[in-house]
Amino acid sequence: MQEQEVKKLTMDDVAKELGVSKTTVSRAVSGKGRIGEETRQRVLDYIAQHNYKPNVMAKGLANNRTYNIGMVLQADLLSSDLPFFPKALKGISEVAAKEEYDVIMTLVDTNDLSRLARVIENHKVDGLILMRTLQDDKPAEMLKKSDIPFVTMGLSDDPQVFQVDNDHVDACRELTSILLLKGLRKIAVVSGDTNYVINRKRLEGFYKAHEELGYTPDESLIFTDVDSELFAARVTDTILMRNVNCIIGADDLLTSLVLKKLEEENMMIPEDMRLASFHDSQLLKAARAGITAIKFNTEELGRETCKVLLRRIRGEEVPQVTKLAYEVAMRESTK
């Protein structure tokens, strides 16, 4: 449409063109400081016409800001094919964009925090969001030592950590209660890496439900740290020999693996075995029976977490813990 812009316009260019000083332009742009309404309009008009945009680098250098926030996640969360991360990103990005912030992704590994260290040392972000909390949370420890504000997506027992998450304890408690009240007493749990706080919280809810209703869970039916298809198949085998009524998969990936094994063994759901899961993603769409699952609005979680972080960056007061809701979707699989 227009001629291509050969050179970026700077504040100085605008000032000279308009015969005013850079200060004046700066004030018009930022809205800070006193400035005549007429001049203000003149500057703003010119800027709009000529498409001037302040240089973020220079702005950042001057007031020590980057207008970036960081998202830190364990690389293995990416390998899992669980849609948690993309959904969360969507929510975060939405809120960040509204405040003119961009999102930098930083991957870490249990043994390698170097990329996170770099982001911090290089001042590449104004604040960080930690996706998922860990029992032994090295990234959080590292951040506590720096002066960069951060918020975790996932609960933490550390009172120094600002955290936002769905209430997984209560979610799993409610799900378990429902199952128990349906008369299902022999419930097996197939859960993942116990270093993730989330998996611990879910188990906590499982126990809590039993306690509240006066039942005693069978510890030998609780399988944790299941981390492969083979392991899941073996666990399912074991479960099948134990006269179990119902299986709770701690996430959709595990549930889908269990489901696969069940189908191989020609078990009918819900007739031969009840099944419940977390997250309700596409991973379970291929199942013939609808699978009962706890639904979390992960986009919403992303949005809320980002809001909390932005408030912290601005130095506003925020609650140390924010718990979000969940929803139980009952389907045929637990009929």
Site residues for DNA per CB under 7 A = 8, 10-12, 19-24, 26-27, 29-30, 32-40, 53-55, 57-59, 61-64
Contact predicate 252/216, CB 8 Å: no
Distance of closest approach, residue 254 Cβ to its own copies, in angstroms: 11
**Residue 163 near which of its own copies, DNA, none (CB within 5-8 Å, type-dependent):** none
Q: Which of residues 199-238 bind its own copies (CB under 8 A)?
A: 229
Contact predicate 212/243, CB 8 Å: no
Distance of closest approach, residue 36 Cβ to its own copies, in angstroms: 27
Q: Which of residues 266-325 bind its own copies (CB under 8 A)?
A: 281-288
Q: Concatenate the DSSP letters of all residues of 233-257 into one string.
A: HHHHHHHHTTT-SEEEESSHHHHHH
C-alpha–C-alpha distance, residues 56 and 62, integer Å: 10
C-alpha–C-alpha distance, residues 123 and 117, integer Å: 10
Give the number of other CB atoms < 10 A from CB of residue 15: 17
**Residue 26 near which of its own copies, DNA, none (CB within 5-8 Å, type-dependent):** DNA
Q: Which two tokens stand for residue 322?
A: 């924010």
What is the pattern of x (binds its own copies, CB under 8 A) and - over residues 152-191? Answer: ----------------------------------------
Q: How many CA atoms lie within 13 A of 181 on its CB side?
A: 9
Q: Where are the beta strands (DSSP E) in the chain?
A: 68-74, 102-108, 127-131, 150-153, 162-166, 187-190, 222-223, 246-249, 274-278, 292-295, 321-324, 327-329
Contact predicate 172/198, CB 8 Å: no
**Residue 33 near which of DNA, its own copies, none (CB within 5-8 Å, type-dependent):** DNA
CA distances from 302 to 87, 94, 164, 299 (A): 8, 9, 9, 5
**Residue 36 near which of its own copies, DNA, none (CB within 5-8 Å, type-dependent):** DNA
Nearest to DNA of 22, 115 (CB atom) = 22
Distance of closest approach, residue 278 Cβ to its own copies, in angstroms: 15
**174: Cβ–Cβ under 8 A, 6 or more apart, which residues?**
205, 209, 328
Q: Which of residues 73-132 bind its own copies (CB under 8 A)?
A: 75, 78-81, 83, 85-87, 89-90, 93-94, 97, 100, 102-107, 114-115, 118-119, 121-124
- Applying CB under 8 A, the residues found at the interface with its own copies are 4, 8, 51, 53-58, 60-61, 64, 66-68, 71, 75, 78-81, 83, 85-87, 89-90, 93-94, 97, 100, 102-107, 114-115, 118-119, 121-124, 145, 229, 253, 256-257, 259-260, 263-264, 281-288
